[in-house]
Amino acid sequence: MRAEDRDWQIYHIIADKSEINVDEICKMSGREEHIAKESLDRLEKYHLISRKGETCSSKSIQEILITAEMKQAMKDSPIYMEDGVIKVRKEGGDE
């Protein structure tokens, strides 16, 4: 199975629940933990889910759109967001 198909399968499992932990995702998807975590990393990278420790939840369409808009708007900004915290870029350097 392609990684994209696994990601989609896991995304739907998460979307069907309000919150779900990694163990439950592994049981429901039939995937090993390291495979599931790779999918979760990609889903989080693309701002489709949020994770707090071992707990995952899907983002709403509004959250997905706002996150994408903020990422684009802050590209050349002196401020940036990291793990939900707004930070100021250091002069002459990256985040």
**pLDDT grade for 32, boundaries at 50, 70 and 90:** very high
pLDDT reading at 18 higher than 70: yes
Of the chain, the percentage scoring pLDDT greater than 70 comes to: 96
* Structural domain harbouring 43: 3-59
Q: Are residues 53 and 73 in the same domain?
A: no
Entry field: residues in the chain: 95
pTM over cut 0.95:
no
81/88 Cα distance (integer angstroms): 9
pLDDT reading at 93 higher than 70: no
In a 3-state reduction of DSSP, which class is residue 80?
strand
Query: Residues with Cβ < 8 Å from 41, sequence gap 6 or more?
Result: none
**Tens-digit pLDDT profile for residues 45-86:** 999 999 999 999 999 999 999 988 888 877 778 887 777 788
Domain count across the chain: 2
Domain harbouring 10, CATH code: 1.10.10.10
**pLDDT grade for 26, boundaries at 50, 70 and 90:** very high
